[in-house]
Amino acid sequence: MNSKELFLIEGLAGEKKLKGRVSINGAKNAALKAMAAAVLFKEPVKLENIPDTDDIHTLTEILKKMGATVTWTDSEQGKYSKMTIDTSDISSTDIDKKMGAAMRASVVLTGPLLARFGNVTLPSPGGCVIGARPIDQFIEGYEKMGAKTIFKDGVYEMKSVGDLKGGDILFSKVTVGGTETLMMVAVLAHGKTYLSNCAMEPEIVNVAEWLNACGAKIKGAGTPTMEIEGRGGELLEAKTPFVTIPDRIEAGSFLILGALCCEELIIENCRPDHLKATIDLLKGSGVNLEVRPPDSGMSDLQIRVFNDPKKNTVFKTFNICTREYPYFPTDLQSPIVTFLTQAEGECSVDETIFEGRFKYVDDLIKMGADIKVMNSREIEVKGPTLLKELKDGGELCAHDIRAGFAVVLAALVGKGKFKVNNVHLIDRGYEKLEERLRGLGARIERVRR
Ligand code: EPU
């Protein structure tokens, strides 16, 4: 991680001339949760298809600091995609203050630690600056299962009073992290747990299926209600490795890039069934895309997105409202807004999940986009507009992982030369983005200030 790094990008001025293939990595938001779930096991667990992103490395360091052994098993071949985690020597349940505060996924770790050791401390969790990110749903769930939380000097102290027992928990807000975490606690608790109003994201199902294959009894993952039979404190057995599903947000990001910048882009190793809402919107807008079978030796599907270089295709605009899975994801809101600046007509974008996720819009406006900010959750976009180089060497800012991708995309679509700062935030979620874009013919380089 280096906060002094910038991307220098030469825009394509709307030409769709990038071409090639891109392979989708494992989903960071599933891999992080599987890493946390390693605490539920009595023996070392193997994890595969792990993305080599900064958030994964931060959680690795957090686990190591508590006494776990985390080993990348393919690093000798120059890769970081397979790891083994052994939590049998964990000697501290204090989540490191600095690292824990830097990432949201640290809150998920509280569940398995609490379930196994009965206590945990957590610094106020951070992650992307996309609005308030309370943890009340976790605290209320733990309370129902027999653990109390106090907040002292910027640190949450969670402690179980006796054995953790199954609970009947209704989430008053649909929460991905809350659903995953309470599910993990319930696996080791005494008795049955019922979770209602659960999030249904594929990453939750990915982790639940693995836990079940290792002895957990979780029913209903991927639906609004779950039932989990606790193991009364008995740890899980590492019967099978965790294999991370392809990252649907990374695939969706490249899909939007393909529509805006590519003559042809083949997106390999993806799960189009996890991207239905996005695919439907793009198809309806006039984007050419087709789902294709995998190449031999690969198991996941491909999406081909293409543009006729001789025709200037004009995409039709559409309204967006971000919602929980299976609807349009908040994590693709910013890349799709870049797309909408290039589509014809007027539309509104409603962000219903996070209230602080439009910070990047100022930069798009400075580039010439016609966007009205109605309030912290709603904007209106009118297109198409030519996005231009910023005056006086101005820089575009990666405010969070996804907004970072959105401004890189805007620079690629735009006319002129662009600088993007805060690249370390992009590195939290997209592996080697500039190398992969260069592979498609984009002019982008990483430099130190
Ligand atoms: N919320 C509460 N109380 C809680 C928990 C959540 O009010 O106790 C609220 C949040 O403030 C938010 C809403 O519920 O308004 C949904 O939050 P959720 O808990 O679902 O989000 P998360 O688990 O913190 C994960 C991803 C995010 C992604 C969201 C929504 C990880 C590590 N992060 O966050 O990913 O945007 O789900 O899909 O899994 C990203 O990858 O760039 C990213 C931000």
* Mean pLDDT calculated for residue range 9-34: 97
pLDDT at 125: 67
Cα gap 297→99, rounded to integer Å: 39
Q: Which of 110, 174, 175 to mutate to test the pocket of ligand 1 (most atoms within 8 A of CB)?
A: 175
pLDDT at 146 over 60: yes
As a whole number, mean pLDDT of residues 403-419 equals 98
Which distant-in-sequence residues (6+ apart) come within 8 Å of 424 by Cβ?
A: 1, 2, 3, 5, 54
Write the residue with the smallest CA distance to atom 36 of ligand 1. Answer: 331
pLDDT of residue 126: 59
Angle at 118 between CA 86 and CA 67, to 5 degrees: 30
| pLDDT at site 129 | 57
**Is any ligand 1 atom within 6 A of the Cβ of residue 35?**
no
- Provide the 3-class DSSP secondary structure of residue 72: strand
Average pLDDT of span 50-78: 93
* Number of residues written out for the chain: 449
Percent of the chain with pLDDT strictly greater than 90: 88
Q: Which of helix, strand or coil describes residue 383?
A: strand
Cα distance between residue 153 and residue 255, in whole Å: 44
List the residue whose alpha carbon is closest to atom 26 of ligand 1: 29
pLDDT of 80: 85
262 — pLDDT class (breaks 50, 70, 90):
very high
Catalytic residues: 128
Q: What is the domain partition of the chain in residue ranges?
A: 5-25+246-448, 28-243
Q: Is 248 in the pocket of ligand 1 (CB under 6 A)?
A: no
pLDDT digits (tens, 9 = 90+) for 102-139: 888 899 999 999 999 999 999 886 555 555 678 999 99
- pTM for this one? 0.96
Looking up tokens 């106090």, which residue turns up?
150
Type of residue numbered 445: E
Sign of CA dihedral 404, 406, 407, 409: positive
What separation in angstroms does the CA of 240 have from each of 37, 121, 422? 14, 30, 38
Asked if residues 286 and 295 have their Cβ atoms less than 8 Å apart, the reply is: no
Which of 110, 170, 176 has most ligand 1 atoms within 8 Å of its beta carbon, as the pocket-test mutant?
176
pLDDT-based confidence at residue 266 (cuts at 50, 70, 90): very high
CATH architecture classification, 5-25+246-448: Alpha-beta prism (3.65)
Does the Cβ of 176 fall within 6 Å of ligand 1?
yes
State the pLDDT confidence band at 74, using cuts at 50, 70 and 90: confident
Q: Which CATH superfamily is domain 28-243 in?
A: Enolpyruvate transferase domain (3.65.10.10)
What letter represents residue 418's amino acid? F
Mutate to test the pocket of ligand 1, among 33, 122, 133 (most ligand atoms within 8 A of CB): 133
- 307: confidence class by pLDDT, cuts 50, 70, 90: very high
The residue whose two tokens read 């402690």 is: 159
Q: Are 136 and 113 in contact (CB under 8 A)?
A: no
Task: Determine contact, residues 210/34, Cβ cutoff 8 Å.
Answer: yes
Classify 268 as helix, strand or coil. strand
Which range is least confidently modeled, 211-215, 308-312, 341-345?
308-312
Q: Is the pLDDT of residue 221 over 60?
A: yes
pLDDT for 312 beyond 90: no
| 104 vs 140: which has the higher pLDDT | 140
For the chain, the average pLDDT equals: 95
* Cα-Cα end-to-end distance for the chain: 14
Tell me which residue of 352, 346, 304, 305 sits closest to 329, measured CA to CA: 352
Q: Which atom of ligand 1 is nearest to the CA of 133?
A: 11
CA distances from 295 to 249, 267, 287, 300, 436 (A): 22, 11, 23, 9, 19
The reply to whether domains 5-25+246-448 and 28-243 share a CATH topology is yes
Q: What is the dihedral of CA 188, 192, 193, 199, to 10 degrees?
A: 90
| Residue indicated by tokens 């946390």 | 36
